[in-house]
Every structure is written in C-alpha cells, then in structure tokens.
Amino acid sequence: MNNHFTVTIHDDNGVRQFNVHRFMKKALIYALLFIITLVFIAVGTILYLNNTITEVEKKREGVEFAYKQMKQNNQDLQKSMLATQGSLVKKKKELDELSDSLSEIETLIGLKPITHSSIAQRVTATKLNSQQRMMLMQLIPNGSPVKYRGITSKFGYRIHPTLKRREFHRGTDMKAKMNTPIYATADAVVEWAAYHKKSGYGRLIILAHIYGFRSYYGHLNKIVVKSGQFVKKGDLIGYTGNSGMSNGPHLHYEIRFIQRNVNPYWFIKWTQKNYDEIFQKEKKIPWQSLITAISNLMVQTQTQQSSQPEQKSKGK
C-alpha cells in the first residue's frame, strides 16, 4: 500500500477513487517542473528577442540616418564638383587669354615661345628677357638725343659742307634749332664737357658708357654737365648750337664702340618695338656676348640684393 496513493474525484455521478502508483506521482511532478521551466525559457526568449528587435530597430534607424546623411553629403559633393568644374572652365579660359596676351608680349619683345613650356616658364622667360632688354637699353645708347626732326647728313663718306672735300663722316647730323635740349641716350659718366679745338666739333660732350661704348654730342651752344659727372639716360646734358666747323645749328651725334665708329642711325631708331632689328643692321658689335655679360651682371645684382637682408638679420 505504500507504493500507491488514492485520487478521489467528485462529480455528478458520485465519488470515484483511483489509486495512482507513486512513480506516476513523481512523473507528474517532473512534468510540471518541466512545463514551468519551459514557460520561464519561453518568457526569457521572448524578452531577449524583443530586446534584440529593439536593438536591431535602433541600428536600422541609425543606418537609415547614415544613409540619408551620406546621400546629402553626396549631393553636396556633386554640387561642389559642379562648382569646381565651372571654376576650372573659367580658369582655363583665363589661362587661354593669359597665354594669348603672353604671346603678344613675346612677339613684341621678340621672344620665341618655348615648345611645350608651361605658362609659369614662359612668364619667367619673358620677365627675364624683358629685364635684360630694359637693362640693355638703359646702359647702351638708344633713341634720339634730341626731338627727332630728321637727318641733314648721314654716316659715311660725304663732301664736307665747310671744307668742300670728300671725307668720312663719323656720325649723323640731326636737324635741330638753336638751343634745342639734348638728352643722354644711356647711363654714363661724362668723359669730356668742353670746347674741343682739334676735332672741329666746337663745344663737345663725350659720354663714356658701359662695355666700351661712347656717345659724342658736337657743335653745342651750351653745356650743362661737367667732366666726371654721372648721368642717367634721359638727363639733360646741353643745348644744340653752331660752334666749331659748322654751317648752321644742328647736332652732330656720334657713337663709338671700343674706338670704332658705328652708324648712329640704327641706335637713334632703336626701341623696344624693333629691338631685334639693330642686331641685323649693326654687325660690328658682338651682341650675343654683350647680352650674356648684361645677364651675368643682372644675376650678380639680384644675388647681392637677396643676400643683403640675410646680412642685416645676422647683424641684428
């Protein structure tokens, strides 16, 4: 009897009793515990899944936000690219215009563009070349010493107007009224500024320029500079006259290179516009070596100027 227990059931039909084996009792208890465990596991699983779904939803919302942000950034980037492209087109147009303008400058100063060279290289070459030209035309006689009104007697052989014999005319006689201002045609030091009896030039000014050049201004009425004085291109040096062996007011203008006479006419007409022309017209002067010497002088000057601030800073 110890291995059984009685189950009593009351219903409309009366009372019924059942004897249940103790093993069955234990089985029912285990089954009940199992069901309870399953319920707890199910509840835990549901809670876990619910929490997981919540996290996934948050991540999905984050991904959607990131996508919208990336989409907005992409749109902004496209706008920026379009703006940059428009700016590049504008800059290209400006560079093309700059290149055309630079070509005009190169043509003006006689510089041939370097094939496949960049704008920066062309600008540098033009700058250096123009600086060389400016210095060359500051140091070497060029332009008219008086307001140009024409030539009365050219360079070369002629019949002397006073002596009436054929002689070599070393300079050019320029039309000029009495007391017409005379200006230095390049930087120089005054070598002579007085009356010159032996030459017949009367009142004469001789300017000694760099690299063996000299310019002569004869038959003057008045001299306003003194020997040993430094003058710059364009400085007033005297006034035209009729002194010496002259048959009327004019300016005898003469240019010599290491004591050899050259035709002053090409130097009178020498300007930036026809810069290269004199190299073809006047063959007695080694122009290439002269330009090289001036370029070296420019480099030395620029080097000294750049080193001066460093020396001052060290001194401080």
SS3 of 25-84: the string is: HHHHHHHHHHHHHHHHHHHHHHHHHHHHHHHHHHHHHHHHHHHHHHHHHHHHHHHHHHHH
Are both 28 and 104 inside the same structural domain? no
Q: Structural domain tally of the chain?
A: 3
Give the whole-angstrom CA distance, residue 72 versus residue 94: 33
Any domain includes 302: no
pLDDT in tens, 164-179: 777 888 899 999 999 9
* Two structure tokens written together for 237: 């040096």
Any domain includes 25: yes
Any domain includes 270: no
**Considering the chain, what percentage of its residues have pLDDT values greater than 70?**
78
List the single range of 101-105, 193-197, 241-245 with lowest mean pLDDT: 101-105
pLDDT in tens, 12-21: 777 776 665 6
Residue appearing with tokens 């700059």:
98
Report pLDDT for 241.
96
Average pLDDT over residues 293-315: 66
Q: Which pTM was predicted?
A: 0.59
Any domain includes 303: no
pLDDT in tens, 128-173: 567 778 888 999 999 999 999 999 989 877 777 666 777 888 899 9
Q: pLDDT higher for 146 or 94?
A: 146
List the single range of 129-143, 193-207, 301-315 with lowest mean pLDDT: 301-315
Q: pLDDT higher for 13 or 62?
A: 62
Are both 52 and 13 inside the same structural domain? yes
pLDDT band at 1 (very low <50, low <70, confident <90, very high): very low
Are both 160 and 285 inside the same structural domain? yes
Are both 125 and 158 inside the same structural domain? no
